[in-house]
A and B are shown apart, each in its own frame.
Chain A
């Protein structure tokens, strides 16, 4: 290897036999401690006696994507925590401003890739409000049907990951049974896997087809029993229950103050659900309950998702019974130009309130589009709930809050 004299080799010290390797390493450690830019960072990165910084992520087996968490630990106990986000930032909101209203839908799709139908629904609903479009009732029912299926798939996966983060290998693969079934179903309906791109302004892309209906009927006949038996593997497991009970308690006041929504809020005893509190689509016509739990701990958040799956199955059942005939798309021009104005639309996603706020300036492209993602809100709670617990509990708390990094970083 030739060394250019003008550009000094940064590793020259390592090659120099007269320099002790320990000295080089010690120097590099001193340099590696970041100097705090803000007051909070300065406080966080100042170590007291016996404390140690432990970096988890962005590549770590349990950070649900590319989250980086810096733990300040004293032995096994977490003293402080600093989540670092931004590793998956794609600038989706800006991209949407440079696409017309139809194209923007496929940019919002991969935000929360575990439940992408909800990511389409909120912007689509906002666009419809801007354009003042009447969506056919059959399309609304199909939207509810497909999104509730997506909710079941998402919750099934969440419960599997929760068990995996607590060290159980098997439950995640059992949870994939339901998810695979639903994914194949939705693939038959939408033509795409994972990122469905199914919602359209004024309706949905296609009507229910035979393959979807036959798969759905097949699955519905055994879904409740199947989910029940799979969850017996975990709910009756002493180790899991002992670890999750009383861990990471979120009281209702804090939850409301931190703008928590979705299952995480309902597990703390606040019966807030966008589907009932601010009804949209055909949810007023459907019969279902809002399950809540009072404990607010990891176990409650986990069990609440099972309750929600049961309610989702009920909604799907009602949808199939009440499904009206008719078109699935409103009549709209190819190029839509809404009047200048603003619109806000929120849906109840599997992780919480998923909302879109759109400003139109009268052109065929949104002037500004803002997306509210529940994962981003819930990630703040990690810093609130983790200190004082053990390193292993950090993973359990994070898994029970269930952030998806695609939605956090946008």
Chain B
């Protein structure tokens, strides 16, 4: 014992961490190997029998990872775009053009104290951000990002979507109720009233699209709009698009319908008592929700990942066979970058503001950028999912920009006006839309 104690005393901090971690890792590895050897066949058979389950787990994992950069990009966009609209510069210190600002925001959340005030209902208080975040993230599972690139192709995709996104209300209500704070309670109740009201026109407006497409699968809805931009459902369902857009804004708690966190009235609404990463989950969920709403608008009405004009892509480049060059390919790989760097450096060198070394470094950077662009261009014209992804994100971020734009320019509407809008205007309009669409489908299909 004394030997062990003496050794422990002499060890540095790194040594101590390693002395603890290495045995644990070895034990875990051994146990894992044993587990694979002993239980492997059974697990493999189970997984083989349940491919949808495996696919679901993989999709959820992938989507969870995807939410982080998505939220970062949307947050950065909001900071920068609203700053520009407010005659400010916005974040410009951390990273190029301040792009790392939202990452710093995320790290700040992790670093803050995870505070639980006295009097809260601890279990509910803890679970609320998780429910909100997961309900938001799970909706992303069925969104088709590109041909062949989606979490799950459920044949009841639309139904799943609204069922899961409806769970957000539960989370907000939990957070509002459990926080033991009047502002939170008001915020939670406002959020519940608003989202329950707007769920109805939101769902009903999509019924027209479902009638036209004849399916509830989001993939099939997108495929139904393939061709060019004239095939998009926005032209056949303009009223539904309008209703979906307005109700979606309310559903995502965005300005001008951001009552549940109206800071001039109820401080921060349901999130008042939350700090640290718990607030971070609410925050992330909000921005992921914006992304999801934009993606849904794009999927239902603006053609999803389909191109707005009939592109001749993907181009089959298999006729170009680099391997046919033989030794020439090797020479090209060896000489290409050097020659490219020098060629790109020449303009900088001729500009004579730079020394030879600086010109070479700049040339190298420029050459790399050009090479990356060339590779991306090659991928873009060769793979249809890259094309689809590019169109999908272009359209989605265009709508996110519109959401941010609205936040930058609109005051908030009042709660009675908001409810009146939902029940007196959007709901009858959505019903009318269903009626007209169903009649048209009946008459034209006969």
Contacts and interface: CB of A to CB of B under 8 A. Distances in A.
Contacts of B10: none
Contacts of B263: 61-62
Interface in A154-172: 163-170
Interface in A47-98: 52-55, 60-62, 76
Interface of B: 82, 85-88, 118-119, 180, 182-183, 186, 190, 255-256, 258-259, 262-267, 407-417
B82 A169 contact: yes
A240 B255 CA distance: 13
A178 to B, nearest CB: 12
Interface string A384-398: 000000111111000
Residue of B190, B264, B267 with most partner-chain A CB within 10 A: B264
A243 B417 contact: yes
B186 A54 contact: yes
Contact of A168 (B182, B183, B190, B411): B411
Nearest to A399: B264
Contacts of A54: 182-183, 186
A238 to B, nearest CB: 9
Given A61-B263, A395-B264, A167 B412 contact: yes
Contacts of A62: 263-265
A53 B186 CA distance: 12
Given A52-B182, A237-B411, 6 more contacts: A164-B264, A177-B87, A233-B409, A239-B256, A242-B417, A393-B414
Contact of A237 (B118, B264, B410): B410
Contact of A165 (B118, B180, B264, B414): B264
Contact of A163 (B259, B265, B411, B417): B411
Contacts of B85: 170
A173 B84 CA distance: 11
7 contacts: A54-B186, A76-B186, A166-B411, A168-B411, A234-B411, A243-B411, A391-B266
B385 to A, nearest CB: 38
B412 A166 contact: yes
Contacts, number: 90
Contacts of B413: 239, 242-243
A205 to B, nearest CB: 33
A389 to B, nearest CB: 9
Nearest to A63: B264
B149 to A, nearest CB: 36
Contacts of B183: 54
A14 B186 CA distance: 28
A229 to B, nearest CB: 13
A280 B88 CA distance: 42
Contacts of A14: 118
Interface string A20-58: 011001000000000000000000000000001111000
Nearest to B121: A22
Given A54-B182, A62-B265, A167 B258 contact: yes
Interface string A375-410: 000000000000000111111000000000000000
A174 interface: yes
Interface residues on A, range: 35 or more
Residue in A62, A174, A237, A391 whose Cβ sees the most chain B Cβ within 10 Å: A391
Nearest to B85: A170
- Which of B85, B87, B411 has the most CB atoms of chain A within a 10 A radius of its CB? B411
Contact of B414 (A169, A234, A390): A390
B410 to A, nearest CB: 6
User: Which of A14, A170, A243, A390 has the most chain B CB within a 10 Å cutoff?
Assistant: A170
A242 to B, nearest CB: 7
Contacts of A170: 82, 85-86, 408-409
Contacts of B262: 167, 392
Nearest to B409: A170
A395 B265 contact: yes
Contacts of B180: 25
A277 to B, nearest CB: 35
Contacts of A76: 186, 190, 415-416
B411 A167 contact: yes
A61 B417 contact: no
A269 B29 CA distance: 84
A138 B63 CA distance: 73
Given A25-B119, A391-B265, A391-B266, A169 B407 contact: yes
B82 A390 contact: no
B28 to A, nearest CB: 36
A60 B119 CA distance: 22
B87 A167 contact: no
A239 B410 contact: yes
Contacts of B256: 167, 239
A185 to B, nearest CB: 19
Given A61-B263, A167-B258, A392-B265, A25 B411 contact: no
B265 A168 contact: no
A353 B87 CA distance: 35
Contacts of B412: 166-168, 239, 392
B154 to A, nearest CB: 38
Contacts of A55: 182
A76 B82 CA distance: 30
Contacts of A174: 87
B373 to A, nearest CB: 36
B118 A168 contact: no
Given A177-B87, A242-B417, A392-B415, A167 B255 contact: yes
Nearest to A243: B414
A327 B415 CA distance: 59
A391 B263 CA distance: 12
B423 to A, nearest CB: 16
B186 A391 contact: yes
Contacts of A167: 255-256, 258, 262, 264, 410-412
Interface in A230-270: 233-234, 237, 239-240, 242-243
Given A60-B267, A61-B263, A240-B411, A21 B118 contact: yes
